Structure 1
């Protein structure tokens, strides 16, 4: 779907495998979130729907077996927030308003 591509382009989230206990490792880069690009293609409700779909996909990923030797249920994930380039200027009025809307 075009909205999915736009969401991935303007709010990138990556899954980088699992740790030794099977917890998925995700990475987000807040400085790469582009509210203008997102809002050009979809409204806040659509953005939230896609964000929820990402979380549901992560729940599904956690439910899948990750090793033949380990059979416990995985309830948690590890989320790394890459703050490279982060500064107080990141909180422009535009980005702050976008986060408040969400």
Structure 2
């Protein structure tokens, strides 16, 4: 096989691999529906994040802070498991983001 033929053959294989990968990804995404999105008032958001990070069935407390200062000074605990959560909103009350403090071990 000469260099030109080998290069053309390699390009064909790479193109097929990319096409298969993209098609497979899109098919998988189409067949697997995403879980329901969390609402902006979801009070267990950081607890759910903690359970995703560390697979545990232990009881868990999610402490909600009403001020950023209180959240900043807080610490997540491992025993008993306690996460910290602060929801930041704009002047109109629209959710801008949720901050979490979790423990990994």
| TM value normalised by structure 2 | 0.20
Q: Which has the larger radius of gyration?
A: 2
- Which one has a larger percent strand, Structure 1 or Structure 2? 2
- Which one has a larger percent helix, Structure 1 or Structure 2? 1
Structure ranking higher on relative contact order (CA contacts 8 Å, 6+ apart): 1
